[in-house]
Amino acid sequence: MKIVKTIKELRHLLPEGESKNKTVGFVPTMGALHRGHSSLVQRCSRECGVTVASIFVNPTQFNDKTDLARYPRSLEADVQLLQATGCDVVFAPDEKEIYPQPDTRLFDFGLLEKVMEGERRKGHFNGVAQVVSRLLDAVKPDCAYFGEKDFQQIAVVSEMVRQLGLPVEIVRCPIVREPDGLAMSSRNALLSPDQRAAAPLIAKTLFAAVDKVCSVDLPALKQFVASAINANEHLRLDYFEVVCARTLQPVASLDDDCAKQACIAVYAGEVRLIDNVRLA
């Protein structure tokens, strides 16, 4: 496995143009890697001839500088994990390599960014689009792999790829969970013992909502979720939305004729956790 810090080094290692006889797969990450990331890299390795993973904590997608400073960083452990999962190249640039000049591009994702994470984290998805577009330009992969825990992010990245006409396939990968159901996240490392013990209630409540969807209406389902989460002293509901899985717009009724996704964000102290499940 090779570790590179510059785009020039990266391009030297990867096949390009007419000489390209291997499929290049790419897994972008912000580090603090866990088994969820491993599953992305392993799938990429199975499906592609060359697997590249990036480690870069992107400052432009943090609307809260305190959150940026608190984000866990563990480069040495991350490299060890990637080496064990079939990764061929680790791209670990510094901020100046990705942003030699400030990125002033403004993306418009329409209604996709007006709800849920986009509504609460102003500028977040613009920062995501900035960094992912730059990383895709650096790696030039055939396929890029993203976990469905960040359900809205995948929709935004897919729309960005469409808008920019990038020749890359966005591959969606299932959420990987801890044995107690908690969706794997780098932010889980920031939880206190009490918060970590409480956090599986998020997934438990989502799965209970799936069981209730045929017997209650939408307001009752939202009330059930809010009551279940907020009853725990270590958790506080930020939002629970049932949205059309394609457009991400909130449904008016559980009877709406579309594939529906239940999306949730919960605070455990200052740590914000997200999760989602398919309803129907």
Interval 186-230: pLDDT, tens: 999 999 999 999 999 999 999 999 999 999 999 999 999 999 999
Interval 262-273: pLDDT, tens: 999 999 999 999
CATH code given to domain 2-173 = 3.40.50.620
Report the chain's C-alpha Rg in angstroms.
19
Active-site residue flag, 37? yes
pLDDT band at 20 (very low <50, low <70, confident <90, very high): low
Active site residue: 34, 37, 124, 234, which one? 37
Q: Under a CB-based contact definition with an 8 Å cutoff, are residues 171 and 144 in contact?
A: yes
Token look-up 């009877």 returns 255
Q: What is the largest CA-CA distance in the chain?
A: 60
Pick the CATH number of 186-278 from 3.40.30.10, 3.40.630.20, 3.40.720.10, 3.30.1300.10: 3.30.1300.10
pTM for the structure as a whole: 0.94
Domain boundaries, the chain: 2-173, 186-278
